[in-house]
Amino acid sequence: MRFTVVTLFPELFEKFLYTGVIGKAVKNGGIEIKLVNLRDFSEDRGYKRVDDYVYGGGPGMLINPVVLAKSLKSVKKRGSRVVALTPKGRLLNRAIVDQYTECRDIILYCGRYEGYDERFLINHVDDRISIGDYVLTGGEIPAMLFIEAVGRKIKGVLGSTESASSESFEDYILEESHYTRPEKYSGDSVPPVLISGHHKKIKNWKRASSLRNTYIFRPELLKNLKLNKEELKELKQIYKERYCGHHKTD
């Protein structure tokens, strides 16, 4: 898979390209990331200006559509999918990430200032993606997030096939709580079942822990789950513990 990132600040990606999972994938050839400096397409030979004032007034500057179109023409290939990172896009989630794992060539535009001229978005962009209901200085961090979220799902990028399938959100539920040494820390002990060696009980505990974490921290995810009788019973127990002070006796 190839990602082409069009940005005013390609230097922000230098560490990202050579660090962690994505860095290894780039080194091994599983992912290709090409950085394109938008200023290279400026018609201003002096200051390399790419922005201009907004028609109708208002604060800030807008990226020029001519510069954007010229940059796209230089990198777009047959089958390329063009994505603009913008707070006015659809919110990135697991389903969208899964869709993009089927793409082979993705072009990411990192917005700056007040964003893009609407005519570029309408005529040249296939998708608009947001990473949340807040505003950042630019689209570089969202682009990195997008690349990592999609890239780690590509076969061979993660060291273990179980890593991706067992992570949070893969079945619309958060991961279970995790523990490591020491066995006792800050007055709390590792749940005894996890050191019991009883695989079935450990598996059941992990599922119950995932349900608990989801119920407490992301309850809206539960609407996507098909729960069996035991899981529904577990949720009722979590509710009683949280709101009624009732705890299991076993």
Break the chain into its structural domains and give their ranges.
2-159, 184-244
% of the chain exceeding 70 in pLDDT: 93
User: Could you write out the DSSP letters of every residue in 39-77?
Assistant: GGG-S-TTT---EEEPTT--SSEEE-HHHHHHHHHHH--
Q: What is the largest CA-CA distance in the chain?
A: 76
CATH superfamily, with its number, for domain 2-159: SPOUT methyltransferase, trefoil knot domain (3.40.1280.10)
The 10s digit of each residue's pLDDT in 207-244 is 999 999 999 999 999 988 889 999 999 999 999 998 88
What gap in Å lies between CA 243 and CA 193, rounded to an integer? 25
The 10s digit of each residue's pLDDT in 153-162 is 988 788 654 4
Residue 119 has pLDDT above 80, yes or no: yes
Residue owning tokens 């695989």:
199
Residue owning tokens 């030979």:
45
User: Helix/strand/coil (H, E, C) string of the chain?
Assistant: CEEEEEECCHHHHHHHHCCHHHHHHHHHCCCEEEEEEHHHHCCCCCCCCCEEECCCCCCCEEECHHHHHHHHHHHCCCCCEEEEEEEEEEECCHHHHHHHCCCCEEEEEECCCCCECHHHHHHHCCEEEECCCCCCCCCHHHHHHHHHHHHCCCCCCCCCHHHHHCCCCCCCCCCCCCCCCCCEECCEECCHHHHCCCHHHHHHHHHHHHHHHHHHHCHHHHHHCCCCHHHHHHHHHHHHHHHHCCCCCC
Backbone angles phi, psi at 125, to 5 degrees: -100, 135
184-244 has which fold?
Trp Operon Repressor; Chain A (1.10.1270)
- pLDDT number for residue 135: 87
Confidence of residue 166 (pLDDT cuts 50, 70, 90): low
The total of other beta-carbon atoms located within 10 Å of residue 204's CB is 14
Q: Which two tokens stand for residue 75?
A: 């990198």
Confidence of residue 194 (pLDDT cuts 50, 70, 90): very high
What gap in Å lies between CA 60 and CA 73, rounded to an integer? 26
The 10s digit of each residue's pLDDT in 25-46 is 999 999 999 999 999 999 988 8
